[in-house]
């Protein structure tokens, strides 16, 4: 589609995004550190590779989520490497759908119902889901396994965000903090956002099923909220 340069130069290539369809990813951080910004960049990378993405925003409005996409797209366009910016904007709109749920209304059956409505009526067939705001604190392992089974059956990749808390001392053997410390094995990729001085470090705990303790060499710029090499 002419966006190979943007894809190849994306610092997120270290995550091997798009290698597998049936892939579950997790982004964890304390509130306000950039989980949504990172999810949006993962979604845009998928779109630039020709996929269709549904961004599920739990407890937030469509307009608020759309602003994240608009802002990050403008930063991408400012570097001047895209020759037809309007074409890119249109392509993102055509390959992305934003779906909202109330916090109490998100479940496997309701997600399956809405996805089937889109797919069976040939309205929108996603390759990737971004699920922002899932309540890991009150959800059990069975809830996530149920959603994972659905995504596997539909051959979709999915990325979740989860909120960690400074005073929560729970942690898994590989370093995944609560409330995801007992279900981290369900995720193929786990990335923690950690504030370090004047930057936000991307700490890759697991990358495509392989545990990692080497970090990533990537940061989230707190000014632009864009991922870049340290």
Q: Which residue has the tokens 């729970």?
A: 170
**Contact status, residue 107 vs residue 138, Cβ threshold 8 Å:** no
Query: What is the per-residue pLDDT across 87-127, written as a single tens digit (0 to 9) for each?
Result: 999 999 999 999 999 998 999 999 999 999 999 999 999 99
The rounded distance, in Å, linking the Cα atoms of 73 and 38 is 13
Q: For the purposes of burial, counting CB atoms within 10 Å of the CB of 128, is it exposed (0-12), middle (13-18) or buried (19 or more)?
A: buried
Query: What is the per-residue pLDDT across 167-218, written as a single tens digit (0 to 9) for each?
Result: 999 999 999 999 999 999 999 999 999 998 888 999 999 988 777 765 668 9
Residue 81: the pLDDT is 77
Q: Which residue has the tokens 């910004």?
A: 37
Residue 211: the pLDDT is 77
The rounded distance, in Å, linking the Cα atoms of 4 and 162 is 31
Query: What is the per-residue pLDDT across 43-85, written as a single tens digit (0 to 9) for each?
Result: 999 999 999 999 999 999 999 999 999 999 999 998 767 888 9
Residue 62: the pLDDT is 95
Say if residue 135's pLDDT is above 80. Answer: yes
Residue 197: the pLDDT is 82
Tell me the domains of the chain and their CATH numbers: 4-229 (3.40.50.300)
């Amino acid at each position: 589609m002419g966006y190979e340069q943007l894809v190849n130069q994306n610092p997120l290539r270290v995550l091997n995004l798009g290698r597998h369809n049936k892939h579950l990813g997790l982004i964890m951080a304390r509130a306000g550190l950039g989980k949504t910004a990172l999810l949006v960049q993962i979604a845009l990378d998928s779109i630039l590779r020709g996929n269709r993405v549904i961004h599920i925003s739990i407890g937030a409005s469509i307009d608020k989520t759309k602003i994240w996409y608009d802002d990050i797209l403008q930063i991408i366009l400012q570097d001047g490497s895209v020759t037809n910016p309007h074409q890119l904007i249109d392509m993102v709109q055509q390959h992305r759908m934003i779906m909202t749920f109330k916090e109490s209304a998100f479940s496997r059956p309701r997600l399956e119902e809405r996805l089937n409505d889109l797919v069976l009526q040939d309205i929108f067939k996603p390759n990737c889901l971004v699920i922002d705001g899932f309540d890991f604190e009150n959800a059990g392992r069975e809830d996530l396994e149920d959603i994972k089974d659905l995504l596997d059956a539909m051959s979709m990749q999915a990325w979740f965000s989860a909120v960690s808390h400074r005073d929560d001392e729970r942690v898994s053997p590989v370093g995944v903090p609560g409330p995801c410390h007992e279900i981290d094995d369900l995720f193929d990729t786990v990335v923690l956002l950690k504030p370090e001085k004047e930057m936000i470090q991307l700490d890759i705990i697991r990358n495509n099923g392989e545990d990692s303790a080497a970090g990533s060499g990537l940061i989230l710029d707190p000014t632009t909220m864009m991922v870049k090499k340290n």
